[in-house]
Structure 1
Amino acid sequence: MMKNGALQKSKQWNVKGAIWLAGVFHFLHSCGSGCLLPFLTLYFRHLGLNATMIGIIMASKHLLALVWRPLSSVLTRQYDKRRTVIVGSLLSSALVVLTLLLFPSTGIQAESGRCNASQPDTDPTTILEWATIPSQSNATVYSINQTSVSTEQPVEVTTVVSSNWSARGLRSVKKPQQEEDPHTEFLGSLKVMDVQHQMFFLVLIVMGLWEFMAAPLEWTADDGLYEYLDFVDATDHHNGVKVWKQLGAAFGNCAVGVLVTSLFCLTGTTLEFYSYTTFMILTVPTAALLPIYLRKRERPTSAGFKALQLVRGNLQAILCAVTVILMGMVNSAVSDFLLWHMQDCGAMEIHMGVSLALAHLSQTGFAPIAGHLSQFLKYHGWLLVLAVVSLALQCLYYSFLWGPWAVIPAQLLAGFSTGALWWSVTSQSEDIATPGTEKTILRLFEALSLELGAAFGSLAAGFVVQKFGVQVLFQGTAVILALWSSALAVLKWKIPRQRQINYSRLLAADTEMSESESDQEKDWLETAMEDATGNNKCIIDKS
């Protein structure tokens, strides 16, 4: 009677419709994030901030998310304010980010030659040789060679910029200035700081406020959908939403790259910010209809501490945690400064957008083969080693880029680095989980990689790029990952594998199964586990 009643109750819930609506929500939100987030460090470079300052800003963003995202998730669940928080986060983050457009650039700027403006008549013999222009940060060296022929053909302008700055997005030459009136200088009241540090603290404040507004959204929406599906015993459909996040990010990367390149002379890089704001506003209607299960107020649970204890008590899980932190550090360094390196190689936004989109599509394409690959390797833990090796090869390749499209082969490896990493981490979470902790353990690994590891990675990468350059950063990370992959392989082989059995999930598969089977055959526990986990996990030995 109870089972029939549960089935009748579940028919009242439109699971397919809920998954479709959640997919649209995450697609639009990821489109907006893909339009702006990967290009932020380039915009900060355009504002005149150096690599160290940008590393500090990005590290602060990750650390704030590390603390505020789980805290806000608990508070919104306790007070049943999820939909309010989601809509408020979308609107407030869409408006706050536009504040960055109010700040004028403080860096040395030179005409890039991307906009074919009409050139004034010049003396054919005029040649502007190498010149050094002082700046608040590092000196920039540039040259402009002007040539002309008797037929009054267009003047050829060539700009050479040092590794600290590139020609993209730079409009006019900033001439050395004499002492300015404090009332006319930008933020003249802060005379104790130079203009560059004024800009640094302003951007830091705005980014902190923006992250405070945006951080609660993803976990809050995800929790609401998961509990909605859990109420009708349909949590197996929850992972189907993830593919829409990757597709949305790929679309946003590619679309904004094409648009900014085409309209650069009219809009510059501001189109990236307006695209983000537009997509956040477009996401609001779907957020208002997003399936969210409303439950009675509950006391805050200690699921996070339980998950931490489970990870700490398993040596394989500790290895996984160390690996995701290291991978998070490297991925953050790549995310922050790969586009810098591409820019110095002559890449424009269309090259960057397409390459970023290919990385997301590569991760999406890895999912269908992950189960077969895990079965071939006999143990999903070896996918973790494969992920580290793949990222090491990517970083080594990045250090030798020679042109705008040269990055493409390395981006196609993202499926075997990022994709394999999270497939292995998900399987590891299931290995050590007790009933009700699977999702929390996976969240713990995500926080260690995407926030804690990313914070350390951004901070360290900023200092390395400032002192040694981008190429040294990528070569150094490749060496570190290669060493860790060797150590990880040895430790994976030496440390025995331990697994927790999720009895509640297995009992739900068949509560009326008889335990009178012969010892010569597989018992019901093994059969249920095979049906529940498929080919991506090893079968528990009866011994």
Structure 2
Amino acid sequence: MKRIKQIDIKGGLALAGTFTFLCCCAKACILPFLTLYFRQLGLTPAMTGIIMGTKHLISLVWSPVASLLSKHYNKRRMVITGSLVCSAAVALVLLLLPSADVHRQTSYCNMSDLSTSPAAGPDDNLLLTNAGPPMSSTPTHSEVTTAPVSQSNVILPIKTPGDTKPAPVLTSKASLHMLQEPQYVNETHPHLSQLNVSVVANDSLGEPNINSSVIHGSASPLAPPVRNKRSQANLESEDQQKEKKEVNEEYRFEFMGSLKTMDVQHQLFFLMLILVSLWESVSAPLEWTADDGLYEYLDFADASDRYGSTEVWGLLGAACGVGGVGLLVSQVNCLIAGQTPRSAVHFYCYAGLLALALPVAAFLPLYLNKKRDRANGLLKAVQLVRGHPRALLCAATSLLVGIAGSAVDNFLLWQMQDHGSSELHMGASLALALLSQAAFPLLVGWVSRLLSPGRVLLVGAASLVLQCLYYSFLWGPWAVLPAQLLSCFSSGALLWAVKVQCEDVATLGAERSVRRVYQALSGDLGAGLGSFAGGFVVQRFGLAWLFRGAAAGLMVWCLCLPLLQWKAPRQRRINYSRLLAADASEASDSESEQERDWLDKAMEDDKSNNNCGRRINH
């Protein structure tokens, strides 16, 4: 009894709520905008879907394993602290990856300001233009080609096969007046591409200036081409080109048969895939480990009924994080300190909020119940769900909702960006959706009187269908806001229906395990499969058809779900703990349920025969 009095339940819940608020706020600063960052770097939708799908599958497998290992070795607090530090460090490492510059999305920033700088501005003594065709193109003939020079032509350095770094050559406008005649470029060497051709004019010397295979001069209108034999350097250059061609042919089978060469874009993709996998590996144990420690702490103090009070703090924290970072980024210039893109603010906010959560984690209420072994809790929960027909229907609905919801989570901001939305619009719309979801508990009493949990599950899926259809027809920056209000039913109602289903299926002490099964089906497995499929759909058909396809698939399930629920047998489990804890008022309000409960009938008969108290032995 003394040990229970020493436990400060209110203080523990306050610490747990603060920790949940900070962690959810940190995740909301970066995770909703992560796919937008991939798009800015130049990754394709298919690459983005593969990265996000891999992230969800790692969480599906590693979260329960890490939670069990931390409990087995009694290292929960160390795992939580290490996860906070490593997650912030890996997130900052992602900023070191350069962009691929392939189909790069510049978002709403005025990139015209970025393209001009003092170093590349107009100058009377320096002329710059395009450099011609890419390196991969080689001359198709070995004839002498004329290249007339004007004041707008390119002035580039010559790069010979033996040179490692070409020396820059600056040409003034005065020297260009001396080049009245067309200049001739010798292309007898097939290994020299047009990108390496340069024109060098020297106005201080009247003699021809020879640089590699190009002859320039002001005295001679026609310079004879150089026709020397190939040197050993030229032969080595040809061998190197042959080796490059052979290497390029070996890479043609990469990336689902579409990868012809290992270019910068695919190198960035593989590096990002490795870093995001590492990031998820260090951050996945955080939520499960802290959640298990808090629940066992409250269960030890006989206050497990107050365990769910921290959920609302997570939603409020996420709303504050996504709305606050959207407002902050919208006030920042496109480049921070002249070189860092403003998308880095998401990563800095994420790392900063995790740093604030570190001192809270040091005092977080954790408890290790060595008497209870829940290593097989998830397996038992899967067996309970599999043996209940209505629970299976709820599980299938959760899986399909997770697949369709991944389209919203991964590519909604892409759709908004294409219609002129900025970070401010995105953050405000996502915050409105989270606040709408958090407001559903206020409507639970009214909804439960009108609809059964099975009907509420159907309403939630149908609301998501309407949202996806609406997202496919956006027309402006703020057009998404009305659809976000439906999150009260598409997310909030679904979570409530799943929670009721868990209480109806689970045995005593297995409610959390059953609920985690549903969360894994929707948030990890469904989201992972939906990310893989959604990326390829966007790549092939576009963003609008992704949302329409998700709505069509979920609509078919909504039409089949009522029929399946009607055909499924109703199996009601007797909840002994709820029955024993019920008082007389609760018993009178649920007379129809008590009539079907044989244990309650026996208790009433015993009360009529014996005026003494009732006693039930288990």
Q: By the TM > 0.5 criterion, same fold?
A: yes
Range into which the TM-score falls when normalised by the shorter chain? 0.7 to 0.9
Sort the Cα spacing of 1:528 and 1:202 in 2 relative to 1 into closer, same or farther, 3 A: farther
2:408 to 334, 339, 359: 334
Q: CA–CA distance in 1 between the matches of 2:355 and 2:565?
A: 47
Q: CA–CA distance in 2 between the matches of 1:399 and 1:202?
A: 32
CA contact (8 A) 2:574 2:597 kept: no
Q: CA–CA distance in 2 between the matches of 1:177 and 1:376?
A: 75
**TM-score, with normalisation over the residues of structure 1?**
0.80
- For the pair 1:250 / 2:305, whether they are aligned, the reply is no
Q: CA–CA distance in 2 between the matches of 1:79 and 1:508?
A: 36
- For the pair 1:468 / 2:464, whether they are aligned, the reply is no
Match of 1:371 in 2: 445
- How far did residue 294 of structure 1 move? 2.9
- For the pair 1:96 / 2:165, whether they are aligned, the reply is no
Sort the Cα spacing of 1:539 and 1:389 in 2 relative to 1 into closer, same or farther, 3 A: farther
Match of 1:139 in 2: none
Give the secondary structure class of the aligned counterpart of 2:334. Answer: helix
Match of 1:541 in 2: 596
Q: CA–CA distance in 2 between the matches of 1:79 and 1:505?
A: 34
Which deviations, in whole Å up to 9, do the C-alpha atoms of 1:346-372 show, x marking residues without a partner? 111010000000010000011111232
1:95-244 equivalence runs, <5 A: 95-106=89-100, 107-109=102-104, 114=110, 117=113, 193-244=262-313
1:349 to 423, 440, 457: 423
- For the pair 1:362 / 2:356, whether they are aligned, the reply is no
- How far did residue 500 of structure 1 move? 1.9
- For the pair 1:456 / 2:450, whether they are aligned, the reply is no
What are structure 2's unaligned runs of at least 5 residues?
A: 123-132, 137-192, 197-236, 241-246, 252-260, 337-341, 599-618
- For the pair 1:15 / 2:70, whether they are aligned, the reply is no
Give the secondary structure class of the aligned counterpart of 1:93. Answer: helix
Q: Report the AA paired with residue 501 of structure 2.
A: Q
Match of 1:310 in 2: 384
Give the secondary structure class of the aligned counterpart of 1:215. Answer: helix
CA contact (8 A) 1:432 1:498 kept: no
Q: CA–CA distance in 1 between the matches of 2:68 and 2:589?
A: 32
- How far did residue 541 of structure 1 move? 3.1
- For the pair 1:48 / 2:121, whether they are aligned, the reply is no
- For the pair 1:399 / 2:472, whether they are aligned, the reply is yes
- How far did residue 302 of structure 1 move? 1.3
Q: CA–CA distance in 2 between the matches of 1:45 and 1:266?
A: 17
Q: CA–CA distance in 2 between the matches of 1:433 and 1:110?
A: 48
- How far did residue 466 of structure 1 move? 0.2
Q: CA–CA distance in 2 between the matches of 1:473 and 1:177?
A: 43
CA contact (8 A) 2:296 2:369 kept: no
Root-mean-square deviation (Å) = 3.1
Give the secondary structure class of the aligned counterpart of 2:74. Answer: coil
Q: CA–CA distance in 2 between the matches of 1:97 and 1:529?
A: 53
CA contact (8 A) 2:28 2:319 kept: yes
Q: CA–CA distance in 2 between the matches of 1:415 and 1:539?
A: 33
Sort the Cα spacing of 1:113 and 1:291 in 2 relative to 1 into closer, same or farther, 3 A: closer
Match of 1:71 in 2: 65
1:439 to 486, 505, 512: 512
1:422-437 equivalence runs, <5 A: 422-437=495-510
Q: Report the AA paired with residue 392 of structure 1.
A: V
Give the secondary structure class of the aligned counterpart of 2:6. Answer: coil
Sort the Cα spacing of 1:113 and 1:293 in 2 relative to 1 into closer, same or farther, 3 A: closer
Q: CA–CA distance in 2 between the matches of 1:105 and 1:539?
A: 65
1:416 to 486, 489, 495: 489
Which deviations, in whole Å up to 9, do the C-alpha atoms of 1:96-142 show, x marking residues without a partner? 111111111112447765378498999xxxxxxxxxx99x9xxxxxx
CA contact (8 A) 1:21 1:290 kept: yes
Q: Report the AA paired with residue 305 of structure 2.
A: D
- How far did residue 334 of structure 1 move? 0.8
What are structure 1's unaligned runs of at least 5 residues?
A: 123-132, 137-175, 183-187, 511-523, 532-536
CA contact (8 A) 1:529 1:539 kept: no
Q: CA–CA distance in 2 between the matches of 1:20 and 1:265?
A: 39
Q: Report the AA paired with residue 542 of structure 1.
A: D
CA contact (8 A) 1:62 1:452 kept: yes
Sort the Cα spacing of 1:109 and 1:295 in 2 relative to 1 into closer, same or farther, 3 A: closer
Structure number with larger C-alpha Rg: 2
Task: Give the stretch that moved more between structures: 269-278 or 12-21.
Answer: 12-21
- How far did residue 420 of structure 1 move? 0.5
Give the secondary structure class of the aligned counterpart of 2:439. Answer: helix
Q: How many pairs are equivalent?
A: 464
Match of 2:154 in 1: none
CA contact (8 A) 1:431 1:498 kept: no
Q: Report the AA paired with residue 26 of structure 2.
A: G
- For the pair 1:481 / 2:554, whether they are aligned, the reply is yes
2:31 to 37, 61, 73: 37
**TM-score, with normalisation over the residues of structure 2?**
0.70
Q: CA–CA distance in 2 between the matches of 1:427 and 1:489?
A: 18
Q: Report the AA paired with residue 384 of structure 2.
A: L
Sort the Cα spacing of 1:201 and 1:498 in 2 relative to 1 into closer, same or farther, 3 A: same
Sort the Cα spacing of 1:49 and 1:539 in 2 relative to 1 into closer, same or farther, 3 A: farther
Match of 1:265 in 2: 334
Give the secondary structure class of the aligned counterpart of 2:375. Answer: coil
CA contact (8 A) 2:466 2:551 kept: yes
Match of 2:166 in 1: none
Which deviations, in whole Å up to 9, do the C-alpha atoms of 1:391-441 show, x marking residues without a partner? 000000000000110000001100100101110000000001111111100
